Amino acid sequence: MRILLVDDERELRGALSQILGREGYLVDLAETGQQGLELAFNKDYDLLILDWMLPQCSGVEICRKVRAQGRTTPILFLTAKDTVDDRVSGLDAGADDYLMKPFELRELLARVRALLRRSPGGDPPNRLKIADLELDIPNQMAYRGGRIIRLSVRELQLLSYLMEHPEQILTHEQLYQHLWQDEEELPSSNVLAALVRLVRRKVEAKGDRPLIHTVYGKGYYFGEQKA
């Protein structure tokens, strides 16, 4: 998944780029509205993250021009503007969501994941399908080969995260941070390995093509072929 981040605050731009990169996203950066507009017009993105106030061209202007071209790429505004009129004008310009500054990183990542599930050509929200495996997130179940696979909360979190990042190597650190981000202490390394084994047993019955692959020394990869 490729994201365009346009923000003129250097420290924030750098920090968000690193965080999104650790989550497995490819991130292009722009510090002015004009740079962001040119990138948005010349490249295909799965998500645009735009600061509202930008030099040369505001985030709202970028949003309007992108929508005028008929592009349906999800757009998330980062803004310090907190009046109802401001929020309405942003949504009327074509934004899909907005996040008030300052914000919690966990909330930003949750908004990003939600918007990427709505990305053009993507699966409907709360339902993911890769190869012959389908995941029903609200009902905590998966389907494969005519089987109904019931999942625990933690198994669901792991499988949905893997399926949201297909054909990418997710490091052990990324997985720990995602699965146990609210914990004061991360569990031992064998806890993740045990969880992966449990999910594999459920979604890879005898005769099924392997989908969850171990990349030794790095992490795990979800897809029909190993990276």
- CATH fold of the domain at 2-117: Rossmann fold (3.40.50)
What pairs with residue 220 in β-bridges?
Answer: 170, 214
More confident residue, 223 or 87: 223
Cis-peptide into 187, omega within 30 deg: no
With b for 16 or more beta-carbon neighbours within 10 A and e for fewer, the 11-30 pattern comes to: eebeebbebbeebbbebbbb
What pairs with residue 100 in β-bridges?
Answer: 79
SS3 64: helix
Domain ranges of the chain: 2-117, 127-222
Q: Give the model confidence (pLDDT) of 57-70 as tens digits.
A: 888 899 989 888 88
Judge whether 134 and 152 are in contact, CB under 8 Å: no
Domains 2-117 and 127-222 share a fold: no
| pLDDT at site 118 | 62
The average pLDDT across 141-149 equals 91
Q: How far apart are CA 35 and CA 56, in angstroms?
A: 9
The number of beta carbons lying within 10 Å of the beta carbon of residue 61 is 17
Q: Sign of torsion, CA 140 111 223 213?
A: negative
| pLDDT at site 123 | 45
Q: Give the model confidence (pLDDT) of 98-123 as tens digits.
A: 888 888 888 888 888 888 876 554 44
Q: What CATH number should be reported for the domain whose range is 127-222? A: 1.10.10.10
What pairs with residue 144 in β-bridges?
Answer: 147
How far is CA 74 from each of CA 2, 26, 91, 107, rounded to the nearest angstrom?
Answer: 12, 16, 12, 17
| pLDDT at site 167 | 84
